[in-house]
Amino acid sequence: MRFLIFSFLLTSAAAQNNGKVLKGEECEPHSQPWQVALFDRGRFNCGASLVSPYWVLTAAHCQTRNLRVRLGEHNLRKSDGREQLRTVSRVVSHPGYVARTHLHDLMLLRLTRPARLSRQVRPVSLPMRCPQPGESCVVSGWGLVSNYESGSTGSSQSQG
């Protein structure tokens, strides 16, 4: 699984296909240094964002007993030597989280040791204002890279 980036207009966000964003493209390696991969017993579980050297923000439905955090990743199937592995010392779910409906589906994870900040690992910079309708935005996350359409970017085989 490789790190993907998706660009879209806010006005088209509701036009997603079954909750999936289509036609993404692979990111430049480490261009989104706040992107985090969460693992449960060695298997990819969820994406998340580094918000400070000690804290990661993710969805509350991602909570498992054995969460492990990987920072500085680009391709989840290959190591480039810059990855950082961390365990979680504290889980803070939104107090109003409702599992059945995913209402308030937010959770903070406190890392046992702080992330070592570098070009590959850095907290997300929060915007100074809300985006306006029609303004271009970027959404990033983990996904498959495949050549599903003639002329599309990505490798010719599934990577995750």
The better pLDDT of the pair 10, 107 is held by 107
pLDDT digits (tens, 9 = 90+) for 134-160: 988 877 888 766 554 444 444 433 332
Question: pLDDT at residue 31 above 70?
Answer: yes
pLDDT digits (tens, 9 = 90+) for 106-131: 999 999 999 999 999 999 988 889 88
Cα angle 139, 142, 147 (rounded to 5 degrees) comes to: 95
Residue 105, in any domain of the structure = yes
3-state secondary structure of 14: helix
Residue 146 pLDDT: 58
Between the CA of residue 22 and those of 29, 38, 111, 134, what are the distances in Å?
20, 22, 32, 19
Q: Which residue is associated with the tokens 């010719």?
A: 156
Residue 67, in any domain of the structure = yes
Residue 47, in any domain of the structure = yes
Residues 6+ apart with CB under 8 A from 72: 30, 33, 82, 83, 84, 118, 120, 121
Residue 81, in any domain of the structure = yes
**Mean pLDDT score of the chain, rounded to an integer?**
81
> How many domains is the chain built from?
1
Q: Tell me if the pTM is above 0.85.
A: no
The residue segments making up the domain with residue 65 are 35-111
Residues 6+ apart with CB under 8 A from 75: 1, 2, 3, 159
Residue 138, in any domain of the structure = no
- Domain holding 56: CATH number? 2.40.10.10
